[in-house]
Structure 1
Amino acid sequence: MPFKRTEDEVVAHVPLDIPVTITVTEAKGISATIDLAERLAAHGYHVNPHLPARQIGSEAELVDIVNRMLANGIDRAFIVAGDAKEPAGDYDSALKLIQALDHMGRPLSDIGVSGYPEGHAHISDADLDTALRTKTPYAARIVTQMCFDATTIARWADATAQRGITVPVIVGLPGPVSRQKLVRIAGGIGLGQSARFLQKQQGLLRKFLTPGGFTPDGLLRKLAALPTASAGNIQGLRIFTFNEIAGTEEWRRNLAASLPGALGEPCPPAQRVSAQ
């Protein structure tokens, strides 16, 4: 997240061959995300900013964002609808923003879109399937929302592949973050956005309230052991750091040493491991 110390923390702890995804908060807006993306790109990182469609007010604003990105060698983005209650302009869905970029001549060569192994609280499974089918022709990867059951993730990835969607699946995985850290992050992103985040991530909330808290190692080991994972086009991870950057990177390195191959290989290419 584009907080005050994020740049320093990334530079101090994250290797340049690990791509970095930068989310958008409603409190700070898209500009803060693009500012940080520019600075990290200048350090040599492969940067992947979020572009939430519902927070982009006009075509002119979209052109300005894209021009800033391209001027700094950034041609990747993770495109989501975003959680804003009302769209700021005409882009009320990820698909509309992707189509707008298509009309601009596809200036971004690498686009990621969302996948929902456990469904969505406010969108039917049929509508999710339709949205995924219409977005994936433009996409380089599908990044899943956080899910805490390896079998559910693998089955969803397999079912997606069986429907003819062969875009690589990148599994969204929370890093080893504490309950206290999550509470601080929730406060920093604004009350409305944090409430919606927790509403969407009820599994995360339950895990954090369980004695002992959540550790991602078991989930990843189960996922790596499932024979269905490769058949479902699972090709990498996006690790949600919640800005616990130093601790997450230490965990990632230790796990990579103890579980060879499960965390992929350094990037590029994009379909491996990224930190958010």
Structure 2
Amino acid sequence: MTGKDVPGLTEAASAIPPGTKINVTFLGNEDLDMRVAAAKAVADLGFVPVPHISARRLASQAQLEEFLVRLGEVGATDRVFAVGGDPSEPEGPYPDSLSVIRSGLLQEHGVREVSIAGYPEGHPDIATDELWRHLEDKAAALREQGLDAVILTQFAFDTDPVTAWIEEVRARGIDAQIRIGTPGPAGIKRLIGFARRFGVGANAMIVKKYGFSLTNLIGTAGPDRFVSDLSAMLAERPASGDVKLHFYTFGGLLATAEWVQQYSASQSAAPGS
């Protein structure tokens, strides 16, 4: 959710299981008060806030510390998501999320778990070998500080690169929980727009496998097939370790929460479940 999504969260609250982790973004067009208010709303409604810390958007160490102090005042510092962020040039002393982690400030302010970014299909602006080096360095830095790590991935439409990437993560000795990003049900045009923006594979063959067609962009698409296929593939790969889902709510919090309810119910009712 963003800082503007508090009404949407309130609307969806009854459809979301208590204790669910809900990420709160760090957007350039939102201010400190909005971010903190959103994190507080998450906690007040019985969920677990995971505020984002956008390294390149931080103008100073003081700004990072102020953010962490304010989050602590509303009980929202246990878990954070440290990410580089969109600006091409850092606005302050933190060029990437690793520099935020290595500052030691997260630990000082009571953070116990840090989510870090994973890119199963790569990043449009970062070389693949650099992505792997950063992932290894961040996992090692968190381990050295005694902080729990979670790898939170970009969303995907194709299970094949996702499962191959999970295998590579484990082969590199990283045993952190992985949360695979998947979009909740949303308009097809909207999904394609986000895919292009973030460098996610979305050619005709991939999206057909996911469950929609590029020749008909009317309507919505949900992750039913992706989630079912990924679950089956991981069941055949016990070495994949702890893998869960993270839903990107492009179509709204309520629509995503209701989809999860319906999908879970259908799986429980399936023969042999």
TM-score bin (small chain): 0.7 to 0.9
> Residue type matched to 2:170 in 1?
A
Q: Distance in 2 between matches of 1:244 and 1:103?
A: 30
Contact 1:155 1:228 in 2 (8 A): no
In the TM superposition, what is the alpha-carbon distance from 1:21 to its structure 2 partner?
1.1
User: What is the CA–CA distance in structure 1 between the aligned matches of 2:11 and 2:203, rounded to whole Å?
Assistant: 26
In structure 2, the partner of 1:249 is 257
CA RMSD of aligned residues (A): 2.5
Q: CA offsets per residue over residues 172-206 of structure 1, 9 Å max, x none?
A: 010111146669xx8xxxxxxx8xx7421443597
The CA distance in 1 between the partners of 2:267 and 2:238, in whole Å, is 16
Does the residue aligned with 1:51 lie in a helix, a strand or coil? strand
- Whether 1:157 aligns to 2:182 is no
Letter in 2 for 1:149: D
Cross-structure match for 1:264: none
Instruction: Give yes or no for the alignment of 1:199 onto 2:193.
Output: no
Equivalent residue, structure 2, for 1:135: 138
Say whether residues 1:236 and 2:237 are aligned partners: no
Compared CA separation, residues 224 and 182, structure 1 to 2 (3 A): closer
CA distance in 1: counterparts of 2:61 and 2:188, whole angstroms: 40
CA offsets 1:50-69 (integer angstroms, 9 cap, x no match): 11111111111111111111
2:271 is matched with none
Of 220, 226, 247, the residue aligned with 2:227 is 220
- 1:175: which partner in 2? 184
Summarize the alignment of residues 86-165 of structure 1 with structure 2, pairs less than 5 Å apart: 86-101=89-104, 105=108, 107-137=110-140, 138=142, 139-165=148-174
Extract unaligned runs of 5+ from structure 1.
187-193, 261-276
Aligned residues: 249
Partner deviation per Cα, 1:109-153 (whole Å, 9 max, x = no partner): 010001111111111111111100011131521011111111211
Structure with more contact order per residue of length (Cα contacts < 8 Å, sep ≥ 6):
1
Instruction: Please give the alpha-carbon distance, in whole angstroms, between the structure 1 residues aligned to 2:183 and 2:109.
Output: 31
Q: TM-score, normalised by structure 2?
A: 0.81
Contact 2:139 2:174 in 1 (8 A): yes
Q: CA deviation at 1:81?
A: 0.1
Q: 1:68 aligns with which of 67, 70, 95?
A: 70
Q: 1:205 to 1:26 in 2, by over 3 A?
A: farther
Q: Which amino acid letter does the alignment assign opposite residue 98 of structure 1?
A: I
**TM-score normalised by length of structure 1:** 0.81
Contact 1:158 1:233 in 2 (8 A): no
Larger Rg: 2
Q: For each residue in 1:39-97, what CA deviation from the matched residue of structure 2 results, as whole angstroms up to 9, or x when unmatched?
A: 22123221111111111111111111111112222211111000013212101101011
Local SS of the residue matching 1:259: helix
Q: Which moved more, 1:80-89 or 1:210-219?
A: 210-219
Contact 1:175 1:240 in 2 (8 A): yes
- Paired residues of 2:183 and 2:248 also in contact (CA < 8 A): yes
Choose which of 39, 49, 60 in structure 1 pairs with 2:41. 39
Which ranges of structure 2 fall in alignment gaps of 5 or more residues?
Answer: 143-147, 269-273
Cα separation, 2, equivalents of 1:34 and 1:24: 10
